Amino acid sequence: MDAQKVVLPGGKTATLTASPTLTPSENQAPKVVEARNCRVVVFFIGGAGDKESYYMAGPYNNVEEVFKHFDDRMKRSGRSEFYQSHYLGYSDVRGDWDVDKYVYKGIPDKSAPVYIVGHSLGGWNGAHLSRILSEKEYKVEMLITLDPVGEGALVWLGSDIYFSKPEPVSGYWINVRASPKHPDGSDSVASFGEQWTVNSGPDVNASMDVNHAYALDMFVNAVRDSASASDILFESIISYIDGGCRV
């Protein structure tokens, strides 16, 4: 734009300096920054007589110990703000109504990594849950089954579990089978319900000298080199959080 002269009152003139012409930038569209979900979700699923009584036995809170152990570990890490956990019974993840109430509503969105830790009947139903969530396009990062039980027809008739053998879908699967040298009453119960014999599929398939009831021991004892299921779970979660969520 050229400079212009204007006439002021009294006949005087003044020159107005030309205003620069602004060249529009090549891209005027608003920039959209994709926000990364920064919360991981872990479901801890107990078996028969764990969170609630089972035919007048229990509750024994076997998986509650696992749940508390890992929650404390996350708190000590200083990253608990990115971590969400749920302690459920095996029947809480069986059927559309329960899965909707206790599972879907506990996951922020489908981009959130989901981890499942299940013991006994909770391992059986939790393995089924991994496929259900994956088929709904949720991201099941890891499945940990601690001496899963459910192959017996009698236990299926008397328990709220899926009838068919699980076909898990997850990024990583750790299975631990209790093979105690000195069985106790809990091992008799597991034998009655029939332990799920997992011959193939898991990334880690460990056998451990521990009684069926001791879910925490199965969770914290080494399953791969010197690492426990707890260690592998922790490392996966921390890697995700530190990979772009924690500043």
Closest residue by Cα to residue 114 from 89, 97, 98, 132: 132
| pLDDT at residue 245, rounded to an integer | 77
pTM value is 0.83
Domain hosting 206: range is 40-242
Q: Is residue 210 included in any domain, yes or no?
A: yes
Q: Is residue 29 included in any domain, yes or no?
A: no
Q: Indicate the number of domains in the chain.
A: 1
Q: Are 49 and 59 in contact (CB under 8 A)?
A: yes
Amino acid making up residue 79: R
| pLDDT at residue 19, rounded to an integer | 45
CATH number of the domain at 219, please: 3.40.50
Q: Is residue 19 included in any domain, yes or no?
A: no
Q: What is the pLDDT of residues 25-67, one digit of tens each?
A: 455 544 433 445 789 999 999 988 787 756 556 567 889 999 9
| pLDDT at residue 151, rounded to an integer | 81
| pLDDT at residue 95, rounded to an integer | 87
State the Cα angle at 229 between 225 and 232, rounded to 5°.
75
Closest residue by Cα to residue 115 from 126, 99, 102, 100: 126
- Residue ranges in the chain modelled with pLDDT below 70: 1-36, 53-59, 153-160, 246-247
Q: Is residue 49 included in any domain, yes or no?
A: yes
| pLDDT at residue 158, rounded to an integer | 60
Q: Is residue 81 included in any domain, yes or no?
A: yes
Q: Is residue 188 included in any domain, yes or no?
A: yes
| pLDDT at residue 235, rounded to an integer | 97
Q: Is residue 17 included in any domain, yes or no?
A: no
